[in-house]
């Protein structure tokens, strides 16, 4: 095959893998991402983007605050004079910067942003109420309360989380009364008007947020379903092609072997032909087993038991199978990994161990499925794998791919134990 042509064919796939890897690394996700994880990542990115917008809004407010402190008439109106006012200003600046530095953290970013936003709200209420003249419900800064309601609703669209800005209006009214300010009819109308605007803002923002989140979840789930459907359809197509092509060839080989056996009288040649026929029968059985896995019509425990029986009859090994726990329907990849581990373990035992008895155990627990293959053979040193033998390496790669673990415990003269465990992720 032309290596240049192969390289050109692989380039789009490699570019796609690189893009996928870059996105996964940026979002700190794994290859086996679920729809829930994708939605959580999207919600975290959305929160970070909005929290950054909050930081820039704070910088604007802090710039205006510095301007107020610099103009004596304005600072006198709010009573912001002396070192205490400048100390409060720099405190706000410091916690705003600190908040910006932890925004990306999944938990700390949300909590720190929420509490600092509550501090901002408290300072806003103080600035509204503090002036003796035109303070409280008459303050020109009262409209800022609507902005805080909007910010809380955008960042934390939950009823209890939005409560602080909604309480700002009744708290301002109560402070007015404590400061012996009479609430006029116009101020009462102002209170009712701002309360109505607050509830409108909360309803609109929360409603739109929920619609947006629901639509995104639906799209992510649809993409996952389409991906699974495409995989199933491709598996079924490959299963049909393999069955009609390779399966038919193996069946023809078996028929031809039987015909030649019926003609041949030489004992040694008949033995060779019989072995060829047995190999073809074993190959077609392996083919059927793989096709059942591809079509998700494979029952793991029964499949393992059938294979052990066939392997026992062929090798005359004393293999004892035990199954415990409640069986679960596993993904095709998980079932294939368990089956291949059993095949590799029994094959190694038959070829190298010189064992008398082999114990195979399949155990389903609450969250995992365990497969163990133990023999009483001559054992080996797992750290000294001969060059060109990749059985143990393949086992570890299968375990790593499925988030499982494999333990190979053996020593010369002490038999061997292969223990394979993967999470039970039912379909």
d(CA 416, CA 372): 10
What does the pLDDT read at residue 113? 94
d(CA 22, CA 417): 40
Of 397, 401, 334, 400, the closest CA to residue 371 belongs to: 334
329 close to 349: Cβ distance less than 8 angstroms: no
Which residues face 259 on adjacent strands?
none
Of 207, 200, 141, 186, the closest CA to residue 168 belongs to: 141
| Residue 298 token pair | 């494979």
Q: What is the pLDDT of residues 214-239, one digit of tens each?
A: 887 787 777 777 776 776 677 667 76
d(CA 406, CA 421): 6
Let me know the angle formed at the C-alpha of 260 by 284 and 242, rounded to the nearest 5 degrees.
20
Domains of the chain plus CATH, in order, are 32-181 (no CATH), 297-426 (3.30.565.10)
| Residue 235 token pair | 């598996």
Query: What pTM, to 2 d.p., does this model score?
Result: 0.56
> Which stretches of the chain drop beneath a pLDDT of 70?
1-14, 16-17, 20, 23-24, 26-35, 228, 231-232, 235-236, 239-244, 247-248, 288-298, 385-391, 425-427
d(CA 170, CA 379): 79
What does the pLDDT read at residue 55? 93
């Amino acid at each position: 095959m032309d290596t240049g042509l192969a390289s050109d064919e692989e380039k789009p796939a490699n570019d796609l893998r690189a893009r996928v890897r870059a996105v996964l690394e940026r979002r700190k996700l794994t290859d086996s991402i679920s729809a829930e994880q994708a939605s959580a990542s999207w919600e975290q990115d959305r929160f970070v983007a909005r929290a950054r917008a909050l930081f820039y809004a704070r910088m604007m407010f802090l710039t205006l605050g510095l301007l107020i402190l610099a103009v004596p008439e304005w600072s006198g109106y709010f009573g912001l004079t002396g070192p205490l006012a400048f100390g409060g200003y720099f405190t706000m600046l410091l916690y705003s910067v600190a908040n910006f530095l932890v925004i990306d953290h999944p938990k700390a970013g949300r909590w720190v942003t929420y509490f600092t936003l509550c501090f901002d709200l408290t300072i806003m209420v103080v600035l509204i109420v503090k002036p003796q003249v035109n303070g409280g419900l008459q303050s020109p800064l009262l409209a800022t309360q609507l902005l805080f309601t909007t910010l809380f609703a955008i960042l934390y669209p939950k009823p209890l989380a939005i409560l602080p800005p909604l309480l700002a209006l009744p708290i301002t009214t109560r402070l007015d009364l404590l400061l012996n300010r009479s609430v006029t009819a116009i101020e009462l109308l102002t209170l009712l008007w701002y309360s109505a605007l607050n509830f409108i803002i909360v309803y609109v923002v929360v409603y739109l947020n929920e619609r947006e989140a629901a639509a995104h979840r639906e799209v992510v789930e649809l993409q996952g379903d389409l991906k699974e459907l495409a995989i199933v359809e491709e598996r079924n197509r490959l299963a049909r092609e393999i069955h009609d092509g390779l399966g038919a060839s193996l069946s023809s080989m078996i028929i031809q072997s039987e015909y030649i056996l019926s003609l041949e009288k030489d004992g040694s040649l008949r033995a060779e032909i019989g072995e060829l026929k047995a190999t073809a029968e074993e190959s077609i059985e392996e083919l059927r087993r793989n096709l059942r896995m591809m079509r998700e019509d494979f029952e793991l425990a029964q499949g393992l038991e059938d294979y052990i029986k066939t392997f026992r009859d062929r090798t005359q090994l004393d293999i004892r199978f035990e199954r415990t726990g409640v069986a679960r329907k596993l993904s095709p990849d998980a079932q294939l990994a368990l089956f291949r581990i059993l095949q590799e373990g029994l094959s190694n035992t038959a070829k190298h161990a010189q064992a008398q008895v082999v114990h195979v155990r399949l155990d389903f627990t609450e969250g995992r499925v365990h497969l163990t293959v133990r023999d009483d053979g001559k054992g080996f040193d797992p750290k000294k794998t001969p060059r060109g033998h990749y059985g143990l390496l393949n086992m570890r790669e299968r375990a790593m791919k499925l988030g499982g673990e494999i333990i190979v415990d053996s020593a010369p003269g002490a038999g061997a134990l292969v223990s394979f465990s993967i999470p039970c992720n039912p379909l």
